[in-house]
Amino acid sequence: GAGVSQSPSNKVTEKGKDVELRCDPISGHTALYWYRQSLGQGLEFLIYFQGNSAPDKSGLPSDRFSAERTGGSVSTLTIQRTQQEDSAVYLCASSLGRRGRIPFTNTGELFFGEGSRLTVL
């Protein structure tokens, strides 16, 4: 697609349920990022993918959070046993990232999706 696509745009769930959030990056972008934004706050980094591997998972807040990326494209962020403090907007972004053997020394421009708003009751 032309831009980064996220689904669902809105998700309301009950405490204790599992949720899956999907991100479809811009075609050809090898780097993919997940961030979380609570109401009126800045962006909290969660995880970063280069291709299918995740060099940096340091931002995942607990072991209830996991993410995967398959085929170097679509990524899924899964939150198990959701808690009320998980309520936030989850933003996905992609960037060109590494190109074959070309060294990747700079994080370039990120292209963001519109986010998935999660509300845990």
What are the structure tokens assigned to 109, written together? 């421009």
What are the structure tokens assigned to 37, written together? 């934004």
In whole angstroms, how close is the CB of 13 to another protein at the nearest point? 20
* Alpha carbon distances (Å) from 31 to 69, 93, 119: 10, 8, 27
Q: Residue 86: helix, strand or coil by DSSP?
A: helix
Among residues 21, 77, 82, 115, the one that binds another protein under rule CB under 8 A: 115
- The 21-40 site mask, x for binding another protein (CB under 8 A), equals ----------x-x-x-----
Q: Which is nearer to another protein, 18 or 56 (CB)?
A: 56
- How many residues sit close enough to another protein to count as binding (CB under 8 A)? 30
Looking at the DSSP bridge assignments, the partners of residue 75 are 23, 69
- Interface positions, 2-21, toward another protein (CB under 8 A): 4
| Preceding peptide of 103 cis, ω within 30° | no
| Preceding peptide of 8 cis, ω within 30° | yes
Per CB under 8 A, residues contacting another protein are 4, 31, 33, 35, 41-43, 45, 48, 50, 55-56, 59, 91, 93, 97-98, 103-115
